Structure 1
């Protein structure tokens, strides 16, 4: 009998849960959202040790300050975030792939490197980084929420790139010392502001499980809001980083297209070059965004992705922008923002109009 799409999706969903070590599984029933809306903070903390809480509630900048000096081991940090990510998935269904064992082995190798050389591998040494399920990682499947992509390379049967392809951003993150350990949920087609698909179902907002975590990088938003990741990368064409960041109380950056390499990443509309998607970081702090963005640019991605712009990090631009934020100097320029309240066709909803008025 031919397996139908529901069975394939359910089998994949269960296989994700089975990758969670038994010691990290939540045994007691999780209260429904009607009884407990918010599963961040003290609720998820009850399953963690005090040391795991300390590590996972430290931002990326301070984590790398510890790991790059040897005061925290990469293994200890990686295990803490793997544990918290496993809990997060059980609470709000935010992961497509987990590879915790491989991540811990990578962390062991980094600790061995530090012990030998007394120096970090790179600026992201020992930092766990989560990725939206558009990025190919060797040995790991990419479904992007499509049942039809299960056990295939982007829907292609028997393609030699299946579980052998690796996205350029993944290569660069490894070179920088990042530890990759999970891939996060997306909506089918990536083209909605909420995250739901026929594999893992709906990804809920951990602050209020009656609500959406946003999309299309909704798994990143939910995972980072639960501190199952200190920082991660999503993609954005019309708000897919910004919406989850907003919905989950985080910071997100949607840079210009071509700033972070898209080479060998999956997408839903290959060949659509009219409006390009951009890769951007999501994190609980602004300085974490800067850390990741600046680190990636040190790898000179334009040498490896023909669509990446040859544009390094420029401190002078940062400083000049800060000066504009602080106010005009001697009658000089100041930051200006445009608000479009009506495009001549579609009216915005009253709550959004109210929000724009408050901002204005």
Structure 2
């Protein structure tokens, strides 16, 4: 197998000798800047582009913590100047608002827990951006994600984990289909280098973003207060917090402010009879009720997921895989089967903290098989009454 588009990840020339027209998505961070520099050094014709995702950038993060600020666009432009490539800023604010921000709010309102970064990759970076890039005659979109695309001898492409598992970002790319993978370039995914070494490379290249902090929070929530952001858009609505028997033990100002598995911030007036912590077991937007209980009641043995997206051909029959349930989570062994448009997944061992709205990404070794959105969960037999 060879890397997609012949790009080897190191700054040598393309393996198939092609000089590609590459659109490098430059967030203003160190990873995307080094990725663009490597693509240019490999001999490709690279153009940098920063995506303006807010009609009012000051409403998104300030400082160096996000990827959607005025400072970020300026950092991206300066990096492009140092690399010596053309640079543009594209306004995708309306598309981002509709496909990411409004989706985020609607999912929480429905009692689900979405991943906005995954949705941004699907709808913005590898749909809106890629469509526009192809229409303008570009061959590929280059980003600073840590993942690897390989080209098989039969011409099919696969998405794999990054060489360095500590930096792997394949989970948030599990929404990409084979057509999108055919035009994706991840120059950082094939290198066994630490983040400090990436920063050192940026410094050697004269990129001012070498020491810029990484972003970890949701870019469109300016102060990092997700509950406050949701309250602003959805309003407050007092409801009950109940235990497993349905007994009211507290109140809240909006069920959307909770997630399955949450322990802190419940503000329950009195402790459980056994003195152990309580966790959020269920969120019901219909009656605005939050159910809490012991941690054992979070054990999930199986789930049903919808809207599957496959990084290649859809699997047939029952298969054995590993699954990842959150961006920075570990892998767990599962069996999975596509039944109609639903993915049925069973866990080899019970897992906890699984919430509707999250993405489940299936792996076959390092290969990303695909992803789907969790719709419902089955709890362990002793807690069957709490099925999601």
Which structure: greater helix fraction? 1
Higher-Rg structure is 2
Question: Which structure: greater strand fraction?
Answer: 2
Same fold? TM cut 0.5: no
